[in-house]
Amino acid sequence: MQNFLDPAILFFVFGLVAGALRSNLEIPPPIARFLSLYLLMALGLKGGFALAKSGLTTEVALSLGCALTLSVLVPAIGYALLVQRLSRFDAAAIAATYGSVSAVTFITAVQYLETRGTPYGGHMAAAMALMESPAIVMAVVLANLARRRKGPCAAGQPHGLGKVLHESFTDGAQLLLLGAMVVGLVTGEAGQKAMQPFSGDLFKGMLAFFLLDMGLLAARNLGALKGTSLWLLVYAIGGPLVHASLALAFAAAAGLSVGNATLLMVLAGSASYIAVPAVVRQAIPEANPSLYFGMSLGLTFPFNILIGIPLYSSLAQRMA
């Protein structure tokens, strides 16, 4: 219940209500884009400052290793399950969506931990960056294999893996996150004091504004799920819970702290609705966008923001 009293979460709920009422309330796309870039830059700086204090420890290495393993394991399991009921293209697209991560969900989880005074490692922002691309690469490879199974004509113009790799690793948002982290790491405590008004004081308000926009978008994308199989709607909630449970097992085996275990669960349990759909729409045009986009933004994102984050945190605390 305490999570719902957080101003940022309440603005998200307000956005959901306004969107459901079909209000004309709207955040202009350029402003929404600016807010997204601001949050990533501030998060990168925070991570860099924290990493400058802690240095490269065993937990840092274990956390990044767990993140990288999950980034391969989650989409592989998802595809194996989804392909039993969907076309190979839809299965690959949805597996990529749920195998990748949501930066906004992660940022909200970071704010949740900070509000409750739960320490976490700044390197978890690097873990988020590591987990974004492998699922996309796997999905494109699986889609190209599916085209070849259909015959030479269908496989004539597969989306080149080299192009996908370039798009994945040079994506502007991801580069900004990593670049800001390097700046924070290099400047350390002096940089943190200088940037405090930007990366500290403004952060909560900017996040609330951005979550308002996300609430509006989520409500307006629920309509895309009409006629969708009940099995897929269950997967949109059940899948993240299974993925987060898998991350909890990894965190327990690696002996991660409560904060880092929570963030690892959030990363594994989230689904991309920005980076992956943008690439998949071009790389796997055979897939139905209303499935992977509607499921991730219409159901999984609100579930994680309202219920998932406090649930994952509670489970991580019990593990400890």
Question: 231-261, pLDDT tens digit by residue?
Answer: 899 999 999 999 999 999 999 999 999 999 9
Whether the pLDDT of residue 31 is over 50: the answer is yes
Asked whether 134 and 73 are in contact (CB, 8 A), the reply is: no
For range 199-214, the mean pLDDT: 88
Q: 9 lies in a domain?
A: no
| Dihedral sign for Cα atoms in the order 176, 182, 186, 192 | positive
Whether the pLDDT of residue 302 is over 80: the answer is yes
Q: Residue type for 53, please?
A: K
Residue 123: how many other CB atoms lie within 10 Å:
25
Of 222 and 183, the one with more pLDDT: 183
Q: 107 lies in a domain?
A: yes
Residue 133's pLDDT is what? 80
Task: Write the CATH number for 79.
Answer: 1.20.1530.20
- Percent of the chain's residues with pLDDT above 90: 44
Confidence of residue 46 (pLDDT cuts 50, 70, 90): confident
| Dihedral sign for Cα atoms in the order 206, 7, 100, 273 | negative
Q: 23 lies in a domain?
A: no
pTM value is: 0.85
Residue 200's pLDDT is what? 82
Q: 7 lies in a domain?
A: no
Q: Residue 29 is encoded by which pair of tokens?
A: 């796309």
Residue 285's pLDDT is what? 85
Of 6 and 63, the one with more pLDDT: 63
Asked whether 209 and 35 are in contact (CB, 8 A), the reply is: yes
Q: 226 lies in a domain?
A: yes
Whether the pLDDT of residue 90 is over 50: the answer is yes
Total number of domains in the chain: 1
CA distance 250 to 25: 42
For range 72-96, the mean pLDDT: 93
Asked whether 122 and 51 are in contact (CB, 8 A), the reply is: yes
| Dihedral sign for Cα atoms in the order 300, 171, 9, 49 | positive
Q: 228 lies in a domain?
A: yes
pLDDT in tens, 132-159: 888 888 888 888 888 777 765 444 445 5
CA distance 296 to 102: 9
CA distance 45 to 129: 14
CA distance 198 to 41: 10
Of 311 and 133, the one with more pLDDT: 311
- 141 by Cβ neighbours in 10 Å (0-12 / 13-18 / 19+) ranks as middle
Nearby residues of 114 by Cβ (< 8 Å), 6 or more positions away: none
Tell me how far the alpha carbon of residue 51 is from its chain's centroid.
21
Q: 187 lies in a domain?
A: yes
How confident is the prediction for the chain on average, in pLDDT? 86
Q: 4 lies in a domain?
A: no
Residue 155's pLDDT is what? 47
Show the domain range for 226.
28-319
